[in-house]
Amino acid sequence: MTALSVQGLNVVLGGRLVLQDVDLKLEAGDFMGLIGPNGAGKTTLLRSALGLVRRSSGTIEVAGAPISKMRQRVGYVPQRHEFAWDFPINVADAVLSGRVRRVGWVRRAGVADYRAVNEAMARVGMTALRDRPVGQLSGGQRQRVLVARALALRPSVLLLDEPFTGLDMPTQELLTDLFTELSQEGQAVLMTTHDLAAAMHTCGTLCLVNRTVIATGTPDALRDAELWRAAFGIRPGSPLLAALGVN
């Protein structure tokens, strides 16, 4: 099943064309890395898939229906600094806050909501810390809370915005394993990252973007240096290309 379909997306921000004719498709179980330089439009693309960005043109569908009707089916893990960690709530309540788009601000959370929250916390290994104020968590624990918060929605597609930034190797490995497992269970995962080597290693597909999609394919299919130069504007013979094993 197609979890996310973006077609002919154009986005103008501050008078500039930030995304141009973007096409992207994620099937259930895909783990796609969204790769591109700073300012390429990766976050804008994720926010568009959340229905938060005004489109100049193009369509976005989640599980076969327009995004306007499917916002509650998109799980979003923002960059860690975007969450208000000084807000006086504990882990369980932070995860529950991810259900707001389903629960609404008016209705009280019910049994299904608490079940989803408990499952999501267990999934990321945070059950034992459920009563801990979020302000007291380490960076890795915070990242796991954000993932649980997105999973609590039981999303059709999980969007991850640079989830590894500032995390140590064991935590990166733990999260990579979690994202891989989720995709193997059928969860569609779209992740932006600047860790190109890790993306080459772990993602089933990569999408190279720089305002528009330069190329999409398996890491093996993207070993043409020209594609990476087009995406990143780097010089021929750059050590980055060698490090990535592209030629």
Report the interface residues with ligand ATP, using CB under 6 A: 13-14, 18, 36, 38-44
Residue from 136, 163, 162, 165 nearest 148 by CA: 163
Distance, in Å, from the CA atom of 223 to the CA atom of 204, rounded to the nearest integer, reads 14
> What b-and-e string marks burial along 80-104, b requiring 16 or more CB atoms within 10 Å of the CB?
beebebeeeebbbbbbbbbbbbbbe
Q: How far is the CB of 80 from ligand ATP (least distance, A)?
A: 13
Residues near 220 by Cβ (< 8 Å), separated by ≥ 6?
none
In terms of CB distance, is 33 or 36 closer to ligand ATP? 36
Q: How far is the CB of 226 from ligand ATP (least distance, A)?
A: 21
Q: Which helix (H) or strand (E) holds 208?
A: strand 205-210
Spatial strand order of the sheet with 157-161 comes to 74-77, 157-161, 188-192, 31-35, 205-210, 212-217
Q: How far is the CB of 36 from ligand ATP (least distance, A)?
A: 5
In terms of CB distance, is 36 or 219 closer to ligand ATP? 36
In terms of CB distance, is 13 or 112 closer to ligand ATP? 13
Q: Which tokens belong to 55?
A: 């489109």
With CB atoms as reference, the residue minimizing the distance to ligand ATP is 14
Residue from 165, 160, 226 nearest 194 by CA: 165
In terms of CB distance, is 14 or 237 closer to ligand ATP? 14
Q: How far is the CB of 18 from ligand ATP (least distance, A)?
A: 4
Q: How far is the CB of 164 from ligand ATP (least distance, A)?
A: 13
In terms of CB distance, is 97 or 216 closer to ligand ATP? 216
Q: How far is the CB of 73 from ligand ATP (least distance, A)?
A: 22
In terms of CB distance, is 124 or 231 closer to ligand ATP? 231
Q: How far is the CB of 213 from ligand ATP (least distance, A)?
A: 13
Q: Which tokens belong to 6?
A: 């973006």
Q: Which helix (H) or strand (E) holds 102?
A: helix 100-103
The answer to whether the beta carbons of residues 180 and 204 sit under 8 Å apart is no
In terms of CB distance, is 82 or 177 closer to ligand ATP? 82
